[in-house]
Amino acid sequence: MSLVRAALLILAISLTACRPAQQTALDRLHPCKIDEGPSEAFCGQYSVFENRQTKTGRKIQLKIVVAPALQRDPKPDPVFVFEGGPGGGAATLAKYHLPAFHRFQVDRDIVFVDQRGTGGSNPLDCEPEDRDDEDFSKADDYPVERLRNCLAGLQADERLYTTAIAMDDIDDVRRYLGYGAINLWGASYGTRAALVYLKRHEDSVRTVVLDAVAPPDMRIPLFMPRDSERALDLMIEDCAKDTACNKQFPHLRDSVNTLFAHAAAKPHIHFTHPRTGKPAEMTISQRLLAFVIFNALYDPTATSLLPRLINDAAQGNYQGLLALAFSRDLPKGAMSEGMFLSVVCAEDMPRIHEGEIAREAQGRFLGAAFFDTRMKPCEFWPKGDVNDDFYQPVVSVKPVLLVSGTDDPITPPSWGDQVARFLTNAKHIVVPGSGHGSTGRGCVPQLIDKFLEQASVKDLDATCVQSQHRPPFFVSYTGADLP
């Protein structure tokens, strides 16, 4: 080596050593405190104008949680997590959901951001401070007046908490953290959010994973009666095909009909409170039972209990079915009711007509229950502007992996099929026996991992999911009758 070349090499090495290290997302954050997020993650905030158009007035601090990649030299493209609901705060729920992403965290950061109006991002919370989980007496009532009073006290312009505005916030956070192209993972309403982000910020997207697809034109909750009835029918059919279940409950469909017929008379019952163990009493209604069964259908494990519990309740023993009402409890502050209303009252309800509600509710166990309860505040809740383009199919060449559960009561595979038609580089995987959310089922995590690695659906062999099936039915309270 010549002296000149040697000198140039030494100079280059010296300049590299003096160059400051490139700033990473973690440099803008701090180790999470115990009440902020997972102990191994980093937390922080990013400020945005509530009114993004005028860039004046109130600002919102968006809560951020980043779980750093476990490898020393991570890949530059993180996974951004979009929470369901609408109303769930991804950062607020990070400590509960991060374990499901550990496989993908090996070489990528996992990023959780509380969407505006949720969690720690100026939440539109309307949950009562004195919530009494022991009181079943008002379980069938919906607190419309409480929501009206809550609306009057919120420090927010509720019209500015729609999905499209929130996705522009998320792209600001991406830039603030110094990321280039990112991977999107969304579940349930989070798939709507991810699709809207893809439409508005396609250049910032590397890949998309959509689990339990709920597209922007879904018109929540119009088709819930149809889709939940389908899930209940599948459960009844699968019980009939299962030797042990059919032997124990040979007339399960009749039991369902008997249960709702009895509930129509609104019987007053005495029972043991499933949470406190104290004697309690309440009036049963069809709507209350419909909500309990609907929520149980989300989870295959809870669904496996339904034949036993429905059969008992049809004979007047509601103890087990009422206990199931607590199976999907969320931590306090995890779900913002006001943000839910800001989304669905603006994006969904204006496109639903009275005749359609009656048509979809007719003859189905869920009926018009959601319209009679959760949607009632839309009569007075402020509604933001939503462009017609919002409802147009998302067309993209980006790699998209869609995952649906065959037994999902709210986002069955038909919704994933509908979205996939307009994505030229997409694959839709339908997981047998799975309910609402399939990321953690069987070989699905490995498939997602491979998809993230190659950023393509090409050669993604999903035949392994065919070995999945719903859990065995509980024929007694001690469990399933296994061979």
Short-list 294, 295, 301, CA closest to 480: 301
Q: What is the pLDDT of residues 244-293, one digit of tens each?
A: 999 999 999 999 999 999 999 999 999 999 888 999 999 999 999 999 99
CATH class of the domain defined by 25-219+388-467: alpha beta
**DSSP class per residue in 112-157:** EE--TTSTTSS------TT--TT--TTTT---HHHHHHHHHH-SS-
Q: What is the pLDDT of residues 461-483, one digit of tens each?
A: 999 999 999 999 999 887 777 65
Q: What is the pLDDT of residues 174-201, one digit of tens each?
A: 999 999 999 999 999 999 999 999 999 9
Residue 134: its pLDDT value, please? 59
H-assigned helices in 299-433: 300-303, 306-314, 319-324, 337-347, 354-361, 369-372, 413-420
Peptide bond into 78 cis (omega under 30): no
Average the pLDDT over 72-93 and give the result: 96
> What is the token pair recorded at 196?
């809207």
